[in-house]
A = this chain, B = another copy of it.
Amino acid sequence: MPTEPHYRAADLVRFATGLFAAAGCDAGKASAIAEHLVEADLMGHTTHGLAQAGAYLEELESGAMVKTGEPKVIADRPAALTWDGGFLPGVWLVRNALDLAIERARKFGIAAVAIRRSHHIGCLSVYLRQATEQQMMCIVACSDPSDATMAPFGGTTPVFTPDPIAIGIPTKGDPIMVDISSSITTNAMTGRLKREGKRYPGKWALDKSGQPTDDPAAIAGGGTLLPTGGADHGHKGYGLALTVEAMTQGLSGYGRAEKPTIWGANVYVQVMDPAAFGGTENYLRETSWVADLCRQSPPPAGKAKVRLPGEQASQRRRQGLANGLALYPGIMAGLEGWAKKLKADLPRPI
């Protein structure tokens, strides 16, 4: 059986930067999107890596994703900012928001940026390293007020998007990178399983009548994603979704009440500087201690050892940077048409 083609991460970034630049993004935006998507693939988040590039290029072509310009500042208080993203590339917006939140957190101890009307922001956990490498704890949450696939717990009609929230926690070693959706599974995973004729590993959805099901096709048939906790204790994911929507739509002051119809994202970014609280050294001692306790907890007989969230992603990333990266099947093939259209050379496998 032939090995799948492997690519150098830098070659993939160069290729994707070329595509987004040719599609009309100014240089900073094109490279920001490209770096983000390849980073997602490096970390193993293959539904949110270059798998999204085609959709982004379509959005840029149609003008739904805006190619140039700056966000509009709605409010700027010492530790709290609000931007109108004007449907600029979400990846670029969130990177800039995070840089600003880090700067303000260093000054005030904690800081947050709420963004309305961003375009799609990709994979949340990719952003976390930007803060944790500077010994900062951070939160990134998003929702899309133009879409809904998850019902409130006890209901049968979609109200929420999967409403993910990611938390970056620096330690003395690799950062802990939590990235959890408020629903058990995501829209991207649902689409992939449905295309591949597969089932969810558990009853992760409700059909139209409100019965739990493992069929991803139920969503397109009027069903809904179940909140985290499922039929058993889904009030927890429901509570998380309400929190994420309040952070991203409430604080940004724009959301479902405006009935937006454009694919986009509302975002909330928050940074806490441990140096401003009980001290960075103390913070790292505590988080590293708990991480060690987790690693040392023995698994049940015959099961794999306990991992920290993001541990596998950090290992994969190191390996991919060192040895090259195999993309999820079909992704490069899906980009060949775009490469031809935008006159970009395909990256050469190594």
Binding site for B on A (CB under 8 A): 74-75, 77-82, 107-112, 114, 116, 137, 151-157, 159-160, 167, 169, 176, 178-180, 184, 201-202, 204, 206, 209-211, 228-230, 232-233, 235-240, 242-243, 245-247, 249-257, 270, 272-274, 276-279, 282-287, 289-290, 293-294, 296-301, 303-309
Contacts and interface: CB of A to CB of B under 8 A. Distances in A.
Given A242-B176, A286-B253, A300-B211, A276 B80 contact: yes
Contacts of A81: 109, 277
How many copies altogether?
2
A116 B278 contact: yes
A155 B277 contact: no
Contacts of A255: 286, 289-290
B82 A277 contact: yes
Contacts of A286: 245-246, 249-250, 253-257
Given A80-B110, A110-B110, A242-B294, 7 more contacts: A155-B298, A202-B232, A210-B299, A228-B228, A242-B308, A253-B283, A254-B278
Given A251-B283, A298-B155, A78 B75 contact: no
Contact of A77 (B108, B249, B270): B108
B297 A155 contact: yes
A153 B306 contact: yes
Contacts of A246: 137, 167, 169, 176, 283, 286-287, 290
Given A228-B228, A251-B277, A178 B239 contact: yes
A52 to B, nearest CB: 23
Contacts of A167: 239, 242-243, 246
Nearest to A308: B242
A169 B249 CA distance: 12
B78 A154 contact: no
A228 B180 CA distance: 12
A245 to B, nearest CB: 5
Contacts of A251: 137, 272, 274, 277-278, 283
A307 B232 CA distance: 16
A31 B154 CA distance: 38
Given A169-B243, A278-B252, A298-B156, A109 B178 contact: no
Nearest to A253: B278
Contacts of A235: 180, 309
Contacts of A298: 155-157
Contact of A273 (B80, B230, B287): B80
Contacts of A160: 290
A277 B309 contact: no
Nearest to A160: B290
B242 A169 contact: yes
A75 B249 contact: no
Contact of A152 (B75, B137, B243, B297): B297
B233 A184 contact: yes
